[in-house]
Every structure is written in structure tokens, then in C-alpha cells.
Structure 1
Amino acid sequence: MAPLREPNTQSNHNDVSTTHLHLDLAVDFARKILSGHVMLTLITLVDNVHKVVLDTSFIDVHSIEKDGETLK
């Protein structure tokens, strides 16, 4: 069976799956800004996954880490 195609995402959701998500947000109502951190626990669904593509439209990502190591 062919993997499901999701036309509303550019992520590689057929390669990886989120098992847990921890979200810590701060709200600045005056500036209309949300800031915070998210920790994702992911599993691979296929062999040889070399990257994780997340949908980040309209989000400024400042850094990404894996096990304390900064990634690109």
C-alpha cells in the first residue's frame, strides 16, 4: 500500500512520527507574541531517515538540538 499523501504539509510525516510533545510557552499580550520551547520525541517509520522536516510556516526557529547537540 502506498503511503498516504497529505497535501497540506511539506513535512516528511511518512518517515517520522511524533510520540511525545512537551510545549512550554510564554505569552506577551502587549506585543502579540508567543515564545517558548518545544521538545519532540520522534520515531522513524522507515530505514535511513537522514532529516526531519517540520512545518514551520510563520514561525521563527532559533535553534534545534538533539541530545544537547545543536543541529542545522
Structure 2
Amino acid sequence: MGLCDFVRSGLEVSDDPEKVCNEVVDTYNISVILICFPNAPKVSAEAGKKEAELDKYLECRVEEIIKNIN
């Protein structure tokens, strides 16, 4: 996923630009200033649902990997 797609999806999940910037910094290890113009992506219930599903999937996978290591 490219940076623009990452920011777009972040804005569809959260209406907090600071949170989105922190996620960019953590993921891409770059400095960022985010300016949201009126036509910027808006929070979407569908995007939030997909994000929650992905988080749950990743959590399950990590648990499986840890279980297999032990």
C-alpha cells in the first residue's frame, strides 16, 4: 500500500488527523504534516468494519504463531 492510500484509508477509519499522522510516522518512519481539505475522505462505517476485521485477523495469526513457537 502506498502512502497516499495509507492516509486515505486512515482518514476513512478515524476523524483524528493526529492519529493518522502518528500511524504514518510509525509505519513509514517519516515526518508528516497532514492538511485535510473539505473534500478529504470522511469516516466510513464500512472502512471501520474492515479495519476491525483486519485487526482481529492479525491478532489471531499472531496468537497462532506464538503458539507454534512454544
Provide TM-score, normalisation by structure 1. Answer: 0.23
Which structure has the highest helix share of the two? 2
Which structure has the highest strand share of the two? 1
